[in-house]
Copies of this chain bind each other. A is one copy, B any other.
């Protein structure tokens, strides 16, 4: 279904499907400013739920939120050479303000390392002031040439963690801890299994010593980098002279980290779970977890089913379910089913006159595991326990399904470039291969196949018997995961 109702099937044109579902589910829209999107209320509500889930985890790991300026003087960006080269081509510059030309142009933040450290350095005197554990929720601007809603936009919303530590080991530990926080959030809230690992030198963040990432597999079998965590070593501390006094009275540069996820996660959600009917949302991040659709033919029935619907709504809200009663007039139930399925609501509760008589509502799931029942009546008195339990098991089933999909589309031990090319140009997916460690070879494979090294995978993801040769035939220095990616 779906295609007859104006949604291109995924298999036909995944990219068209994506653009259509973003519009039709009212997640986002285009604006007058090239590459800037508007995030519509339904899309923004998903972002609020993502924010709440992440923010609680950041606070639980000791981080505090703060807010730093939108602008930085152009000269400040020039302090960290590698960082500058990474971001200069993408920046937006304010040259005039208050009807006059500025003495020094201001850069709209593409990220905030060069804003934060010149400020926070004054908060740090001794080892007692460390660690500094900050996070910021903010908008940033990167002047991208090709943009797509959520995936790559000129302005986007994100969080950026920035921390300072007294030792290299502590900075590394923090970098890894936050990668773990992202991974756990993506699995448990987004129902999206991710691979974790380290980026190659050519793919790492400009200014970082080491970049780690979480990589998810989309429904078209392309990879998507969903979050990154950077160990910045002493690079920014040196550039901005951020020192602390050690217990021994020495003055040392701090060790810093940064880590971020963005509204790109909404794009990941769409492409990790969506199908030809439309969006599929994990219950934990669904603006409405459950929509009640009353069914009536005449005025008497209308009163009766709306009353039953309202009772159900009250019971579910009291049980902590995000629920909506869709009592719109002049719209038949089928049209409502269609709309909420397209918008990915996990559970629909139908209530008609016969259901009222039987003291029940009929639940219909947006997605069902193989062999499961899509429809099931629930006694009205049991809604407050049955629906949360059903949503919880749907959350788990969605993750299990995504995990099975990923396993089915993971290829291990690939050693020949030909086989590799056949996979990435054919079914796609994650391809585990060897790597000689040479950046020139990495670039050559990328140019020839449009597939990149996503990560040097963390131990638990590595193959029991990894390939001992790179795709170029040279001995492998370690296993890598390659894929075409967003």
Contact = CB atoms under 8 A, between A and B. Distances in A.
Nearest to A132: B41
Contacts of A145: 98
B95 A91 contact: no
8 contacts: A29-B119, A38-B66, A41-B64, A70-B108, A88-B99, A92-B94, A92-B96, A93-B95
A401 interface: no
Most chain B beta-carbon contacts within 10 A, residue among A92, A115, A118, A138: A92
Contacts of A90: 98
Given A66-B41, A96-B95, A71 B155 contact: yes
A39 B120 CA distance: 11
A31 interface: yes
Interface in A14-73: 29, 31-33, 36-41, 44-45, 47-48, 64-73
Given A38-B68, A47-B67, 18 more contacts: A29-B119, A32-B73, A32-B118, A33-B69, A33-B71, A33-B72, A36-B69, A37-B69, A38-B66, A44-B64, A70-B108, A70-B141, A70-B155, A71-B155, A88-B99, A89-B99, A92-B106, A94-B94
A245 interface: no
A134 interface: yes
A87 to B, nearest CB: 11
Contacts of A301: none
A445 interface: no
Interface string A93-123: 1111111000001101000000100110011
A139 interface: yes
Contacts of A106: 33, 92
Contacts of A139: 70, 138-139
A143 interface: yes
A34 to B, nearest CB: 9
A41 B108 contact: no
Interface string A67-88: 1111111001000000000001
B38 A67 contact: yes
A119 B38 contact: yes
Nearest to A139: B70
A155 B105 CA distance: 16
A173 to B, nearest CB: 21
B118 A36 contact: no
A97 B35 CA distance: 12
A356 interface: no
A143 B36 contact: no
